Amino acid sequence: ASRAGSQTQGTPGIPRQSRRRKSLAIAYESGQGDGAEPRRARWEPRDWREQLERIREMRRSRDAPVDEMGVQKCYDSSAPPQVRRYQVLLALMLSSQTKDQVTSAAMLRLRRRSLTVDSVLQMDDETLGQIIYPVGFWRNKVKYIKQTTAILKQKYGGDIPSTVEELVQLPGVGPKMAHLAMHIAWDSVAGIAVDTHVHRISNRLQWVKKETKYPEETRVALEEWLPRDLWKEINWLLVGFGQQTCLPVNPRCSQCLNQDICPAAKRL
């Protein structure tokens, strides 16, 4: 490049050629030569494919709480698409810091009242609170559900937004909920849904380049290397695995097929 530059300055007949050469180089750099893609492709966790395959094996029976009572099981599958999507979002809002069993029961009680945008808007706060109790932080959730439902009615014609950016603007909706809403309600993969289970297990398996403190950090770290065709599956796999085997306290390492290749197994 420096030689071409000196030729450009010293030889009047060359500038056009050197400019052309330079533009070709720039085109290359903006594509693959900026280093971003190769850097991501180079790092991947040790043994991750084998670990993933073994987790799939452990999850083969699909009998964790998330399988039987997770958000994907909480909506009325016979309802119109717009109503189904609203029920998915509501189930996600209720599920925060709440066991799947409790969320599922609350959704069942709500659905008995014909769970739609209009029915929730017509419900007073006390009634809504009585129905969703004992979900975690139920008083806050009453407020968020009412606020979000009003926004959906006014701004989205009673439907839910179809982008993560718009979903996280809704009261009481965080990034994990937004990504799961995209997966379940819109059948669209915009990113990895990272909850406490995915966050914990990703760190234990060292699926993050360096330890992460928050689920959002974990999401960014996972998306840098995990093949995109696995983004939707990984939440379901790891949540159930975290509920049954890789528990927050006293994980059942002796029952885990990854015991020999898990960096955390010997320390726990």
In this structure, the answer to whether residues 81 and 177 fall within a common structural domain is yes
Q: Which residues are catalytic?
A: 176
In this structure, the answer to whether residues 80 and 141 fall within a common structural domain is yes
In this structure, the answer to whether residues 78 and 137 fall within a common structural domain is yes
In this structure, the answer to whether residues 218 and 116 fall within a common structural domain is no
Residue 210 lies in a domain: yes
- HEC string of the chain equals CHHHHHHHHHCCCCHHHHHHHHHHHHHHHHHHHCCHHHHHHHCCCCCHHHHHHHHHHHCCCCCCHHHHHCHHHCCCCCCCHHHHHHHHHHHHHHHCCCCHHHHHHHHHHHHCCCCCHHHHHHCCHHHHHHHHCCCCCHHHHHHHHHHHHHHHHHHCCCCCCCCHHHHCCCCCCCHHHHHHHHHHHHCCCCCCCCCHHHHHHHHHCCCCCCCCCCHHHHHHHHHCCCCHHHHHHHHHHHHHHHHHCCCCCCCCHHHCCCHHHCCCCCCC
Number of domains in the chain: 2
In this structure, the answer to whether residues 121 and 160 fall within a common structural domain is yes
| pLDDT tens-place values along the chain, 268 residues long | 444 444 444 444 444 444 444 433 333 333 344 444 444 457 999 999 999 999 999 999 999 999 999 999 999 999 999 999 999 999 999 999 999 999 999 999 999 999 999 999 999 999 999 999 999 999 999 999 999 999 999 999 999 999 999 999 999 999 999 999 999 999 999 999 999 999 999 999 999 999 999 999 999 999 999 999 999 999 999 999 999 999 999 999 999 999 999 999 965 5
In this structure, the answer to whether residues 165 and 234 fall within a common structural domain is no
The CATH number of the domain holding residue 210 is: 1.10.1670.10
Prediction pTM value = 0.82
Domain that holds residue 215: 44-62+191-267
The CATH number of the domain holding residue 93 is: 1.10.340.30
In this structure, the answer to whether residues 175 and 238 fall within a common structural domain is no
